[in-house]
Amino acid sequence: MQHQATAETVVHEKQSFLRRYVFSTDHKTIGIQYYLTGGLMGVLGAFLAGLIRLQLTWPTTQWNFLAKIFPSGMEGGFMKPEFYISLVTMHGTIMIFFFVSLVLVSGFGNYLIPLQVGARDMAFPFLNMLSYWTIVPAILIAAASFFVEGGAAGSGWTAYPPLSAVPSAAPGSGLGQTLWLLAVALFIVSFTMGGLNYVTTVVNLRAKGMSMMRMPLTVWSLLIASIIGLLAFPALTAAAIMLLFDRHLGTSFYLPAGLFIAGKLLPNEGGSPLLWQHLFWFLGHPEVYVLILPALGITFDVLVPFARRPAFGYRMTVYCLMAIAFLSMVVWGHHMFVSGMNPLVGEFFSIGTLLITIPSTIIGVNMIASLWGGKLRLTSAALFAIGTISFFGMGGFGGLFLGNAAADIQLHDTAFVVGHFHFMIGGVTMLAIFSGSYYWFPKMFGRKLSELLGKLHFWMTIVPFYGIFATMHFYGLAGAPRRYYNLSQYAFLEGVRWMPMVITVFAFTMMAGQILFLVNLARSLWNGEKAESNPWESTTLEWSALSPPPHGNWGEKEPVVYRGAYEYGNPDAKEDFVPQTVPT
Amino acid sequence: MTETGDQAATRTSPLGVALAVTVWFIGIGVFILGARRYLPEVASEHGKGIDVMLIYLLVTTGTLIVIGHLVLGYFVFRFSRTARVSPTLPGVTAQRFWSIAPAILMTVLAEGGVLVLGIPVFGQLYTQEPPADAVVVEVTGEQFTWNVRYPGADGEFGRTDPGLITADNALGVDESDPAADDDIHDLALIYVPVNRAVKVRLRSKDVLHSFYLPHHRIKQDAVPGMTIELWFVPNREGEFEIACAELCGFGHYQMRGFLRVVSHEEFERWLAEKRS
Amino acid sequence: MSSAREAPMNWSGGVAPLGMSWQKLMMWIFIVTDGLLFAGFLASYGFARTGARSWPNQQEVFHLWFISLMTFVLISSSATMATAVAAARVADWKKVGNMVLATVGGGVSFLAMQAYEWGGLIRDGVTLGSNPWNVPAFGNFFFLITGFHGTHVLIGAIVLATLATRVRAGKTTAAGVELAGLYWHFVDLVWVFVFTLFYLI
């Protein structure tokens, strides 16, 4: 065996609190650190969204208590337009990088990969610890950027130059933008370290008998997501470095000649704003698949034990995940149809983008078909997993509009886009986070979550979510532009003035519903009912470890795998499931 | 897809019923809400083609959303009531069918839509040259308004130089250039005659903006350092709004402008008035 | 470790299918991502240059014979590194130490020559903002790309110097030398691309 004994043996000397819980190199502790940190950032991102909704729905109301928290942005209780733009920017940045990526990819990924492949820990536990502790300063820098002069970055999470490259172009383009770039750079470093670990662990540290086609879909999706992330992030690193140069060293990578900003003619020449867009979206598009693929994998892992049937079309799903990943790297231009890029290039990107509908639809069909012939156990986890299928369909079909270059002319930069991506990287991902949480909480903490609270949480999430983001699709069809501080003066929106209010009511309802989840977590962590090893009667490897697993995961003997990941409903078995470790 | 008698035996599952009903409600609700008219009333020739594409997509995706949700809801309803798992696993044929069928469906629907409906519209908008009698207007976005300029009787725009920009000379027009003498300037207001092509030379003075005419199905980013040409044919008289569709700073929401589409006589009258 | 190359790759779990340790796999993945960073810079350079109205004539701007000499020095240092890796495999640690030091020497010479080149250009008036040929993008990309590459060479030289002292103290393994060798060859390969795309064509 070419394993490296990377984890200490089960019995080891007592470690200090710091080494065991703060600077831990155990993948499970690191996974939980990511999960909780990301969760906290999700709450912050939701708070920012709440502020955005307040402005869009009640632009003339005075919010005095908010002026106390944000004295310059909410001076006198009224929101300044530049503060609104920085809210929009930071909401997106925090939710994408510091909530969804952290919880779904880093949190669940770190926790589950070694357990599901039968390893004792990740390939390089020390690097793993470093990857988490690189995120912490990134988050602190991002949060601090709100309180510097000029406020947080204000050029959208997309940071298009010249707005982001010229400090005088907007208040948020000063120190706030530099801090944004630093935070994102640190995130990329952290992600790269994590991605290296994931790929190496899955390739090299699988247990005996755990062939690639016996791995759960969670692991496949995380592996594939890590690969495209590793391939795509360097483009953003390159782009960010060049943007920092333009901002601070007088270069002109993105700045053409003749820019007249803040009353001054700038000396730059020779650069192109389109260069940033190409580089950014070369990362940006695969990035959203880095977020959604693990969500799809987790959804399968949750649906299957609660349907008591094998995943329908497991192999095909694996191939489709690979196809989506490959295609995702060659369609970045669909964000740039009206950018000034050659329109014929746009048609090429359009054709490529619509190819992605094929493997995506097959995956959606496979999810639905996995329910066929099953005996559904509608636990909270299962409810969220089933809801994910609906979200994936709704969001995915919206993608047909946007990937189509002709239709996109009307829909680009409208609320339709906002509705679409919230379904995909805010809906599918968030529901997968919840279904994964309800499913794996017993394994992670050795306790059970309340099913009653979980079900209430489900209903208070799924219905309002549709209310918010389906409405946004219609708002975008009506032509409402995105990133607008105030839309009330535009006559062409007269017929849809009622929509922002409806969206906001659903939004606050949904936010309230999330409190149920937080309460559930806190209560169960404190004194929830103890959980056994395999409360859901699942087949995958993690359920043959203790709840929670000890350091080193498996005790003295590493597991040996004899069968695939989803042997349920097998007529030859005594029970209706056969764990992977049971010999044939 | 056979089932034994055992699988047919039922248990009750109010949660299953509730979930199924919710899923059906969502699918049907989205379809019904999506069937309403949201698009701003179209007012350009090529816009009709874009609307055909949008309606095609609404109908096809709407249908798929309904069908998908009906199926999902039915599966939830039925299999939350079964007493045991079906002992038959899906066969190879079933698995192959349910991979090939969606692939063919999406190829036809999605790619077919793009290629058959989209390319003609695209070609008309981006590869055809506007007719020779098109009204030419230059629009230069800046933080936070639209500078509008007509070339005047000589049909030529005066030379501009960013170095000449002052508070009174927003575009930096070189006054010594004779072509600049008859240029007509305006702010956030564009006059055009109905049923005649309009060619827009789109520029930007500072950061990215985007020239967006919701009623005319026109949207094009204004990129500093580039002059981008676009054209369209407004086919309805009236006053239509212009909005900015690329984040350009804190005043992004304030870049409201107007496109006034008037009769030919009215346009000539307006031109003559501006020239004097 | 490379002897597993003869056997077919084993993906059935319990063994590393590529026949390499996780450290080596990780170094390869790192090299790929770092290479993509340089690819991003070079692609941006290509985008800017194809869109530029004019571009300085490299034969006039650079002393191409000098750059070719730099390239030769760096490639030679790759050769000495490869010799070091081979020597480590047969545990000829004295040879390893000498070859690693030679590699460090090659790297440091390369950096010194690069610094000399930079100094000459800066004296000629090439800055990040402007240059005598009025194509700011030229200076932008030159300093960015060669600067990043030079930083990688410097880091490599430091790592190798540390490695040399550890060899002396008897604390290295053949695997460690091989890992360092992989990084050094990568840095060399990047230079070949930079030399070709920026200086030659």
Q: Do A239 and C40 touch (CB under 8 A)?
A: yes
Residue C137: closest CA among chain A residues belongs to which residue? Answer: A270
- Indicate the fold that domain A21-255+269-544 takes in CATH: Cytochrome C Oxidase; Chain A (1.20.210)
Which of A154, A162, A413 is the closest to B210 by Cβ?
A413
Does residue A182 sit in helix, strand or coil? helix
Residue window 231-260, chain B: list those with CB within 8 Å of chain A: 240-241, 243-253, 256
Using an 8 Å CB-CB cutoff, list chain A residues near C41.
238, 242
Nearest one of A488, A491, A492, A510 to A57, comparing CA atoms: A488
Where are chain B's structural domains? Answer: 5-126, 135-275
Starting at the edge strand found earlier in the chain, the sheet holding B135-142 runs: B184-187, B145-150, B135-142, B198-204, B228-232
Residues, chain B, total? Answer: 276
Return the minimum-mean-pLDDT range out of A112-116, A232-236, B1-5, B45-49: B1-5
**Closest Cα of chain B to A231: distance in Å?**
27
The reported pLDDT for the residue numbered C22 is: 78
Q: Do C136 and A233 touch (CB under 8 A)?
A: no
- A142 alpha carbon, distance to own chain's centre: 17
Chains in contact with A, where contact means 3 or more Cβ–Cβ distances below 8 Å, are B, C
Rounded-to-integer distance, Cα B65 and Cα A296, Å: 19
Residue C128: closest CA among chain A residues belongs to which residue? Answer: A251
Decide which of B215 and C10 is more confident: B215
Q: Would you say the ipTM is above 0.90?
A: yes
Task: Please give the class, per CATH, of domain B135-275.
Answer: mainly beta
Q: Do C40 and A196 touch (CB under 8 A)?
A: no
Rounded-to-integer distance, Cα A332 and Cα A75, Å: 40
Residue B80: closest CA among chain A residues belongs to which residue? Answer: A376
Rounded-to-integer distance, Cα A317 and Cα B57, Å: 26
Q: Do A362 and B251 touch (CB under 8 A)?
A: no
**Closest Cα of chain C to A383: distance in Å?**
34
Q: Give residues with Cβ within 8 angstroms of A581, minimum separation 6.
A: A541, A544, A559, A560, A561, A562
Q: Do A80 and B250 touch (CB under 8 A)?
A: yes
Instruction: Retrieve residue A204's tokens.
Output: 């090299």
Best residue of C22, C50, C133, C146 to probe chain A, by most A CBs closer than 10 Å: C22
- B129 interface with A at CB cutoff 8 Å: no
Rounded-to-integer distance, Cα C6 and Cα A404, Å: 49
Does residue B81 sit in helix, strand or coil? coil
Residue window 111-150, chain A: list those with CB within 8 Å of chain C: 117-118, 123-124, 127
Nearest one of A94, A95, A245 to A164, comparing CA atoms: A245
Best residue of B1, B3, B99, B147 to probe chain A, by most A CBs closer than 10 Å: B99
Mean pLDDT for all residues in chain A:
94
Rounded-to-integer distance, Cα B37 and Cα A182, Å: 45
Q: Do A260 and B26 touch (CB under 8 A)?
A: no
The reported pLDDT for the residue numbered B113 is: 81
Nearest one of B213, B147, B210, B212 to B183, comparing CA atoms: B147
Nearest one of B158, A203, B105, A418 to C19, comparing CA atoms: A203
- Give the CATH architecture of domain C2-200: Up-down Bundle (1.20)
Q: Do C51 and A205 touch (CB under 8 A)?
A: no
Rounded-to-integer distance, Cα A58 and Cα A52, Å: 10
**B1-40 per-position pLDDT tens digit:** 444 445 666 888 999 999 999 999 999 999 999 999 999 9
Decide if A444 contacts A32 (C-beta within 8 A).
yes
Q: Is residue A548 reached through a cis peptide bond, with omega within 30 degrees of 0 on the bond before it?
A: yes
**Closest Cα of chain B to A41: distance in Å?**
25
Mean pLDDT for all residues in chain C:
90
Decide if A259 contacts A270 (C-beta within 8 A).
no
Rounded-to-integer distance, Cα B224 and Cα B222, Å: 7
Computed from CA positions of residues B183, B187, B191, B196, in that sequence, does the dihedral angle turn out positive or negative?
positive
Q: Give residues with Cβ within 8 angstroms of A519, minimum separation 6.
A: A453
**A380-401 per-position pLDDT tens digit:** 999 999 999 999 999 999 999 9
Residue A303: closest CA among chain B residues belongs to which residue? Answer: B76
**C116-145 per-position pLDDT tens digit:** 999 999 998 898 888 888 888 999 999 999
**B196-250 per-position pLDDT tens digit:** 999 999 999 999 999 999 999 999 999 999 999 999 999 999 999 999 999 999 9
**Closest Cα of chain A to C28: distance in Å?**
9
Quick one: CA torsion of A265, A269, A271, A272, rounded to 10 degrees?
50
Instruction: Retrieve residue C192's tokens.
Output: 């070949």
Q: Do A270 and C135 touch (CB under 8 A)?
A: yes
Q: Can you name the residues that pair with B234 across neighbouring β-strands? A: B44
Best residue of C140, C173, C186 to probe chain A, by most A CBs closer than 10 Å: C140
Q: Can you name the residues that pair with C127 across neighbouring β-strands? A: none
**A126-164 per-position pLDDT tens digit:** 999 999 999 999 999 999 999 999 999 999 999 999 999
Which of A3, A199, A250 is the closest to C128 by Cβ?
A250
Q: Do A312 and B228 touch (CB under 8 A)?
A: no
Rounded-to-integer distance, Cα A230 and Cα C29, Å: 8
Q: Do C127 and A250 touch (CB under 8 A)?
A: yes
The reported pLDDT for the residue numbered B9 is: 63
Nearest one of C151, C122, C116, C154 to C139, comparing CA atoms: C122
Note the pTM of the prediction, 2 decimals.
0.94
Using an 8 Å CB-CB cutoff, list chain A residues near B113.
354, 400, 404
Where are chain C's structural domains? Answer: 2-200
Residue A257: closest CA among chain C residues belongs to which residue? Answer: C136
Rounded-to-integer distance, Cα A151 and Cα A86, Å: 7
